[in-house]
Chains A and B, each alone.
Chain A
Amino acid sequence: MQWETVIGLEVHVQLATRSKIFSGASTAFGSEPNTQASAVDLGLPGSLPVLNEQAVAMAVQFGLAVHAGIPEVSVFDRKNYFYPDLPKGYQTSQMYHPIVGPGEVEITLDDEVTKRIRIHHAHLEEDAGKSLHEDFQGMTGIDLNRAGTPLLEIVSEPDMRSAREAAAYLKAIHSIVTYLGISDGNMAEGSMRCDVNVSVRPKGQEAFGTRAEIKNVNSFRFVERAIAFEVERQIELIEDGGEVVQETRLFDPERDETRSMRTKEEANDYRYFPCPDLLPVVLDQAYLDHLKGQLPELPADKRARFQNELGLSAYDANVLSASREMAEFFEEAHQVCGDAKQAANWVQGELSGALNRENLGVVQSPVSAQQLGQLIKRVVDGTINGKAAKEVFQALWNGQGRDADEVIEAKGLKQVTDTGAIEAMIDEVIAENPAQVAQYRDAEPDKRGKMIGYFVGQVMKASRGTANPQQVNGLLKEKLDALR
C-alpha cells in the first residue's frame, strides 16, 4: 500500500526580550543557576506578573510577517500542573484567545518549488525552569533562570507531507524570526524547540490517521530523523495489523528513535482558565500599523527581489535570502561591486567555503562585505584576474592589508593587459620551447585546442599570474597558428 505522511509542527521560539515575560529579571543564557530568578519567577506568595510589552510587540511582528490576523483582544490563561521546575504550579499561556490568528508561511523545496504551509495560530507563554538530575547524588537540582522566559509557540496546520517539508518549514520559521530580530534562533541553546505531530494514512484517504506527538526535536536534522523513524514505525505497526495510539513520544537523538512518554489516558488535565492577575491584551489598529511600518524586508520578498530585480537564479536567491545576515552581507557586497551574479558567486563560493572551514557565522567573517565588494569590483573592472582575486581574498582573510587595492599593490597582482608586454612574454615562451612548438605545428587543427593550454600556463607563470588569461589565449593562438 502507498502511504502518505501528515505532519504538523509546534515550534517554541524564545523571544529575544531583555527581561522575562512577566518580571524584570534578565533572560541572558548561561548564568549561574538561580541568579536570574526574581520573586515573580520563584512564584513567591504575593508576587504578581506584569506583562512585558516588548514580548507582545515581537509576537505581533511575527503575526504580521506571516500575514496572520491579529485579534483585537487576546487573553492569558493558566495551564495548571505540578512539576518542581514550574514554580507557581501553573504555566501562564494563551489557550482560548491567542495573540496571533491564522496565517501562512511559504517554504521552498527545490529551486523552483514552493509550498504554502498554514499557521493555525501563535501564542505567548512563559518557559519553565530546568530540572537537573545529575551531580546531586540522587537528588534533583532546580534552576529557575529560564523560568518566565518569553516563548512564542507557533502551531502549524497539518499541511506537511514529508520530513523534508517539515525541515523546510522549520527553516522558514527560523529565517522569519531571525529576520525580524525577535529571536536569536539558536537551537543549540534551546532558543527554538520543536514538537512534531506525525500520522500516516493510505494515499488518497481523506481522514487523518491517529497521530503521535514527538517532543524534544531540537535541530533541523533531528526533525527529519525523528519523522523518518516515526513514519516507518507507524507504517510497520499498521501493516502488521496493529494500531497507532494517540500518545506523546520522546525523540532520542543518541539512539535515533522515538519512545513512548505517555498515552492519551495518562495525559494531564491542565484545567485551563483565564489568568485573573493579567488584563486582556487589547491592541488597536494604530499599534498594528506602527509595527507594520517597522517590519524589515522578509525572506520571501527578498528572495523574489533577488530573482526579479537582480537576475539571480532561484537557487542563488534562495540560499542568499535564507538568513538575514547572509542576505545583508550579499547586498552590501553587491552595492560596492555592482555585479549581482559575481557577488552571489563570491559569497556562496569563496566566502562560505572559508567560513565553513573555520566554523564561523557570516557576521564573524574576517573579510567584511565592503572588502569583498571592492575585491569583486577589481575583478569586474579587469584590474585583477580570477586567480589573483583568490590570492587577494586569502590575504584579506588573514588580515594582510586594509582593502583589495592595498593587497593588489603590495603583491603586484595587477593584471597585465598591455598587448605588447604579453606578446613579448609569448615570444619568449615560444623561443624557449621549440619541441612543444614543433609538436603544435605538426598537429591536426582539432588537436591544437588542447595543446595550447601548456603554452598559456607557461605565459601565466612568466607573468606571475598577472597576465590577462583571455588575452594570453588569443594572442598565443594567433602567433602559434601563424608559424609555418
Chain B
Amino acid sequence: MHNQTVTQLAAALKSGELSSREITAHYLQRIERLDGKLNSFISVTAEQALNGAEAADKARAAGDTHALAGIPLALKDIFCTKGVKTSCGSKMLDNFEAPYDATVVEKLSAAHTVSLGKTNMDEFAMGSSNENSHYGPVKNPWDLTAVPGGSSGGSAAAVAAGLVPAALGTDTGGSIRQPAAFCGITGLKPTYGRVSRFGMIAYASSLDQAGPMARSASDCAHLLNVIAGHDVRDSTCATRGVPDYTEQLNAPLSGLKIGLPKEYFGEGLNADVERAVREAVKVYESLGATVREVSLPHTHYAIPAYYVIAPAEASSNLSRYDGVRFGHRCEDPKDLIDLYTRTRAEGFGEEVKRRILIGTHTLSEGFFDAYYIKAQKVRRLIRQDFLDAFEDVDVLMGPAAPTTAFDLGAKKDPVSMYLQDIYTIAVNLAGIPGMSVPAGFVDGRPVGLQILGTHFAEAQLLNVAHQFQQATDWHLQRPALAEENA
C-alpha cells in the first residue's frame, strides 16, 4: 500500500477498494516503526488522523467528490495548526500552539485530506541539510549516514521512506527542490503568490512559497489543485484563477523548447550528477523536444543577493520572538534587556543567529544602500535573465543541486552549505516556479533534475515532469527502508 502514489490511493478510495481508515492506520504504523531511524516527524497526531480518516470515509460515503478525500498527508512544521504544536524546528516555539490554521491547512482539511503530523525541518527554514533543527537532524532514507537536504528535509524523507504518501514543504531558496532531489521524490515550488502564505511562519517573506512534495508529478498536480488560489489574508497572494493542474499532464511534448543554462553546468557541478541530468535531457529529445544552450548571465550574483535579502527580511521577521507574548522566555529576567538577550540567545540556534546578525548588519545605517538596495537591483536583473530566456525557450533544465546528498556533518563551513543552493536560489529571487524530478542515482544516492518555467507556468511544468515519469522509472525506485513492511 505504501508504495502507491496519491493518484493510485485516491482511485482505490474512490472505488471503495480501500478506506481512509485502513490507509491512515497503515501509514501511522509505519511512522511508529520506522521514524526512529529517520527522525522525520516532530509531532505525530495519530488520534486526530484516525478521527479525520473516519470523517473522510463518511464524507465519501455521503457523496464527497473531493479527489483527495481520505488521503493522509504530512505538514512541514512551519504551517500553523490549531491545537497542534507548530515549532518551526526551533526551541523558541517548542511551546507554541497557534490559535488558527494556515490557509493551506484549512484548504487541505476542507478537501478532507488527513494530516498525520508535522515534519522536521531546519530551524525557521534556514538550512540545506536539516541539521539545524532543535529536534535533531533528519536522516536520508537512501542512506542513513547522509542528509536528506533542507530545509523541508522531514517532508522529503517521510515521503521517500513511504511514511506518508505526500507532504507539504516550503521553499525560500531551494527548500523543496533540493531535499526532493536528495531523497528521490518530486517537489514543486510554485510561482511566488500562487499559494497563500497566511499561517506559514515567515523566514523571508518576499521569497517564501509553499508547495507539494510527493512521489510523482501527477501527485503534485492533485495537491496543488487543493492549495493554490487567492487568499484575502495574504496581500501578496495572486488573484489569478487556478486551472485544473491535472488536465494538461498528458499533453505531448513534441515541439517543446528546452533551454540548458550554461551557468548551471559549470565549475562545482559533480560530473556524475551532470551525466545523469544530460541523460534525462536526452529522454526529452526522444519525446520530441528540442534543446539549446541559453545563458542566465547574472546567475553568479544570486547567492550573494539572496544572502543579503533573505537575512534582512528574516532579521525583521524574527524580531517578534522576544519572550514577551509567546514562545520561549528565559528564567527570571532581571530587566528588559536581559529578557531579550537571554530569551533570544537560548531560543535560537546558531544558523538563525548568524542570519539575524547578517540581516541586521545589512539593513543598518550606512550599509543599507550598499547591500540591500544593491541586492534588490541584482534581483531585478536576475528576474530579467529568466524572462529573456523564456522568450526563446519554454522551460529551463539543469541539476537541482551540484551534488547528491552529502554525509551528515560533512559541511561545517556555512558558505559551503550556502553554495548547495546555487541552482535553486535564483528561482526564488525571480519568483518563477520550479520542480525537482528524480533522474537517476550516483553511488546509490538520488539525482534531481530541475525544471523551471515562467511565472504561473505550473501546469506546463507538471506536464513536462509527468511525461518524463511516463518514460522513465526513476521516481518509482524505493529505498530499502520503504520496502520494509510495517
Where the two chains meet, the residues of A that have a C-beta atom closer than 8 Å to any C-beta of B are 39, 42-51, 78, 80, 82, 84, 87-90, 142, 269, 271-273, 276-279
Q: How far is the CB of B101 from chain A (nearest CB, A)?
A: 10
Contacts of B274 in A (CB 8 A): none
Is B316 touching A273 in the complex (CB atoms < 8 A)? Answer: yes
Q: How far is the CB of B229 from chain A (nearest CB, A)?
A: 16
Contacts of A42 in B (CB 8 A): 325-326
Does B200 sit at the interface, judged by CB under 8 A?
yes
Is A276 touching B319 in the complex (CB atoms < 8 A)? Answer: no
Is A277 touching B205 in the complex (CB atoms < 8 A)? Answer: yes
Where the two chains meet, the residues of B that have a C-beta atom closer than 8 Å to any C-beta of A are 79-80, 86, 88, 93, 96, 98-100, 102, 197-202, 204-206, 232-236, 312-313, 315-316, 318-320, 322, 324-326, 336, 340, 360, 363-365, 368, 372
Roughly how many angstroms separate A45 CA and B198 CA in the complex, as a whole number? 10
Roughly how many angstroms separate A45 CA and B96 CA in the complex, as a whole number? 9
Roughly how many angstroms separate A273 CA and B317 CA in the complex, as a whole number? 12
Is B316 touching A80 in the complex (CB atoms < 8 A)? Answer: yes
Roughly how many angstroms separate A278 CA and B312 CA in the complex, as a whole number? 16
Of the A-B pairs whose beta carbons lie under 8 Å apart in the complex, a sample of 9, sorted by A's number, is: A39-B99, A46-B86, A46-B198, A50-B232, A82-B319, A87-B324, A87-B325, A89-B318, A271-B315
Roughly how many angstroms separate A444 CA and B287 CA in the complex, as a whole number? 130
Q: How far is the CB of A291 from chain B (nearest CB, A)?
A: 22
Contacts of B364 in A (CB 8 A): 269, 271
A82-B235 in contact given A44-B98, A45-B201, A276-B205 (Cβ < 8 Å): no
Contacts of B326 in A (CB 8 A): 42, 44-45
A279-B316 in contact given A45-B201, A82-B340, A89-B322 (Cβ < 8 Å): no
Q: Which of A39, A46, A279 contacts B235 (CB 8 A)?
A: A279
Contacts of A82 in B (CB 8 A): 319, 322, 340
Contacts of A48 in B (CB 8 A): 197-198, 233-235
Contacts of A45 in B (CB 8 A): 80, 86, 88, 93, 96, 98, 201-202, 320, 326
Contacts of A46 in B (CB 8 A): 79-80, 86, 98, 100, 102, 198-202
Is A51 touching B102 in the complex (CB atoms < 8 A)? Answer: no
Q: How far is the CB of B338 from chain A (nearest CB, A)?
A: 13
Q: Which of B88, B199, B236, B360 contacts A277 (CB 8 A)?
A: B236
A49-B316 in contact given A84-B324, A276-B206 (Cβ < 8 Å): no
Roughly how many angstroms separate A50 CA and B197 CA in the complex, as a whole number? 12
Is B320 touching A89 in the complex (CB atoms < 8 A)? Answer: yes
Is A278 touching B340 in the complex (CB atoms < 8 A)? Answer: no
Roughly how many angstroms separate A45 CA and B321 CA in the complex, as a whole number? 9
Roughly how many angstroms separate A44 CA and B317 CA in the complex, as a whole number? 11
With CB as the reference atom, state the residue of chain B lying closest to A88.
Answer: B320
> Which residue among A49, A84, A272, A276 has the maximum number of chain B CB atoms within 10 Å of its CB?
A276
A50-B80 in contact given A273-B368, A273-B372, A277-B205 (Cβ < 8 Å): no
Q: How far is the CB of B234 from chain A (nearest CB, A)?
A: 5
Is B363 touching A273 in the complex (CB atoms < 8 A)? Answer: yes
Q: How far is the CB of A40 from chain B (nearest CB, A)?
A: 9
Contacts of B324 in A (CB 8 A): 84, 87, 142
Roughly how many angstroms separate A45 CA and B201 CA in the complex, as a whole number? 5
Roughly how many angstroms separate A273 CA and B100 CA in the complex, as a whole number? 29
Roughly how many angstroms separate A271 CA and B319 CA in the complex, as a whole number? 12
Roughly how many angstroms separate A81 CA and B122 CA in the complex, as a whole number? 26
Contacts of B200 in A (CB 8 A): 46
Is B233 touching A88 in the complex (CB atoms < 8 A)? Answer: no
Q: How far is the CB of B209 from chain A (nearest CB, A)?
A: 13
Q: How far is the CB of B12 from chain A (nearest CB, A)?
A: 34
Contacts of B236 in A (CB 8 A): 276-279
With CB as the reference atom, state the residue of chain A lying closest to B320.
Answer: A43
Q: Which of B100, B199, B319, B365 contacts A90 (CB 8 A)?
A: B319
Contacts of B312 in A (CB 8 A): 273
Contacts of B363 in A (CB 8 A): 80, 271-273
Roughly how many angstroms separate A46 CA and B125 CA in the complex, as a whole number? 13
Roughly how many angstroms separate A446 CA and B204 CA in the complex, as a whole number? 95
Is A50 touching B233 in the complex (CB atoms < 8 A)? Answer: yes
With CB as the reference atom, state the residue of chain A lying closest to B207.
Answer: A276
> Which residue among A47, A87, A90, A269 has the maximum number of chain B CB atoms within 10 Å of its CB?
A47
> Which residue among A49, A80, A277 has the maximum number of chain B CB atoms within 10 Å of its CB?
A277
Roughly how many angstroms separate A42 CA and B100 CA in the complex, as a whole number? 13
Contacts of A272 in B (CB 8 A): 363, 368
Roughly how many angstroms separate A92 CA and B43 CA in the complex, as a whole number? 34
Q: Which 8 A-B pairs have the closest CB atoms?
A: A89-B319, A271-B363, A276-B205, A276-B206, A46-B199, A43-B320, A46-B80, A45-B201
